[in-house]
Chain A
Amino acid sequence: MIEFRQVNKTYPDGTAAVQDFSLTVPSHTTTVLLGSSGCGKTTLLRMVNRMVDPSSGAVLIDDEDVADVEPVALRRRIGYVMQHSGLLPHRRVIDNIATVPRLNGASRADARARGYELMEIVGLDASLGVRYPGQLSGGQQQRVGVARGLAADPNILLMDEPFGAVDPLVRVELQRELSRVQAELKKTIIFVTHDIDEALTLGDQIVVLKAGGEIAAAGTPAELVQNQQDEFVSRFLGLDSGRRSLTAATADDGGWLISDAQGRPLGVVDSQPVQRP
């Protein structure tokens, strides 16, 4: 469990990146911090592994204040995946993944064996291990980034817009892979994004942030989509533009054609709606 307790972050020049932010991130779930750029979501994420220290307040991991943990040791037991993968361009793919186990003191052979294990988990062919990051596609690089984040078998995985720089098709594929990996590994993930669809796909809990890290809304994806009370949230999720106000019409060959409020067809439902208890 990760707990933000009334954290504030004010930079020396007086900018308040985060003000009085409190949140509990349950273990083994994915919490998405959703917001436009400049809302403080990356700052919040980096407070967990002490790349940013809060000006006041505390961040606790399983009731232990991270301020009491030596930053380098802390970072070695928390996975971190970022945009543009952040891979070390001068190290082979396998050594990139093996970096953290190596830093943690594993032998080269053990670390590499672990690396190949992870390549399989994230769906990378083992033959890519000897390549350099520059020889991979953007999507493959992000997979390597995820594998590296998981290499030390951390309980916590911090993901900072990890799929922000890949094309939409690959992004969807990576999101699906991440869901699959998460279903298996059950890490505590904090995922930062400004992509609403990504948040709805991956989040067990979504926290919508306004500027300064102010929580505009928090809840499960279903709760957020159904609750249209907050104007900011509605606008952010695209609820007010009718993007998620759907209408159904009978389709030509049976089933239902689903369209949004502007009449843009979104897809076909071929069965009756599921009755929820």
Chain B
Amino acid sequence: MTWVLENLPRIGELTLAHLALSLPAVVIAFVLSIPLAWGANRVRVLREPVLTGTGLLYAVPSLPLFILLPALIGTSVRDPLNVVIALSIFGLALMVRSAAEALDAVTADVRTSATAIGFSGVGRFFTVELPLAGPALLAGVRVVCVSSISLVSVSAVLGVSSLGSLFTDGFARNIIGSIVAGIVMTVVLALICDLLLVLAGRMLMPWQQTSRRRRPLPTRAREVAA
């Protein structure tokens, strides 16, 4: 505990570094997944190959990828960019299928009616289909976010600073406080980010709560009400 108190500034620093590596990856994975998912849904024969193909990216072991990327894109081994790109790939692997399914689940009735009242194709996508796919997209983003935050730690092995560094340093120098702090902070960070996503979802998609509340009351509640 004393170790933690003495090293608070460093823990804070590493937490920020951790976020700087993981959050861009989440955003990139999300942004890239939408057009990919849209395309996959659009060209039906390509749907399964694209979804399975991107899904398989997740099977690539993370450590070798962190090491392989510099050779492929010409960055140095300790460049944080490697980590962001690798995490984006993993995020994409998780996100594309979620996004494709989310967009596919928008009901035909709503699509037809949006077309019938005069939405253009692009307008319909951004103002009708994308928002309605929102709840399912959010579920996907939450998984990607938590997964990215936990995966970042691996990059500490390569010497890229993150909360994982607390873990590697702690091991190397046999400081239990450092190891525990690394683990606890990663979990806390993942939980906070997840909570923020849920809150953002509530704010951006207010129609959801209301439709949930509208569901018929359970039988007992109805009897009481009567």
List residues of A whose CB falls within 8 A of some B CB.
49, 51, 72-73, 75-76, 80, 82-91, 99-100, 103-104, 131-132, 134-135, 148, 158
Contacts and interface: CB of A to CB of B under 8 A. Distances in A.
A87 B113 contact: yes
Contacts of B210: 131-132, 134-135
B211 to A, nearest CB: 4
A80 B119 CA distance: 12
Contacts of A148: 117
A89 B211 contact: yes
20 contacts: A51-B116, A72-B120, A75-B117, A75-B118, A76-B117, A82-B109, A82-B113, A86-B112, A87-B113, A88-B113, A88-B114, A88-B132, A90-B128, A90-B207, A103-B117, A104-B118, A131-B210, A132-B206, A135-B213, A135-B214
A86 B120 contact: no
B205 interface: yes
A72 B211 contact: no
Contacts of A99: 117
B116 A86 contact: yes
A75 to B, nearest CB: 4
Query: What are the 3 tightest A-B residue pairs by CB atom distance, in nearest-first order?
Result: A86-B113, A134-B211, A76-B118
Contact of B115 (A75, A85, A132): A75
Contact of B116 (A75, A84, A104, A131): A75
Contacts of A91: 207
A51 B132 contact: no
B196 interface: no
B118 A100 contact: yes
B225 to A, nearest CB: 17
Nearest to B205: A90
A103 B115 CA distance: 12
B126 to A, nearest CB: 12
Interface in B97-140: 109-110, 112-120, 123, 128, 131-132, 134
B117 A100 contact: yes
Contacts of A72: 118-120
B90 to A, nearest CB: 30
Given A51-B115, A72-B119, A134-B214, 18 more contacts: A51-B116, A76-B118, A84-B109, A86-B112, A86-B114, A86-B116, A87-B113, A88-B110, A88-B114, A89-B110, A89-B132, A90-B134, A100-B117, A100-B118, A103-B118, A104-B118, A132-B210, A135-B214
Nearest to A49: B116
Interface centre among A75, A87, A104, A148 (most CB of B within 10 A): A75
A128 to B, nearest CB: 13
Interface in B184-208: 205-207
A90 B113 contact: no
Contacts of A83: 109
A11 B55 CA distance: 36
Given A82-B112, A84-B109, A86-B112, A134 B207 contact: yes
A85 B119 CA distance: 16
Contacts of B109: 82-84, 86
Contacts of A89: 110, 132, 207, 211
A88 B114 CA distance: 8
A250 B128 CA distance: 60
A143 to B, nearest CB: 15
A80 B132 CA distance: 21
A148 B117 CA distance: 9
A174 B217 CA distance: 27
B119 to A, nearest CB: 7
A163 B131 CA distance: 27
Interface centre among B109, B112, B115, B211 (most CB of A within 10 A): B115
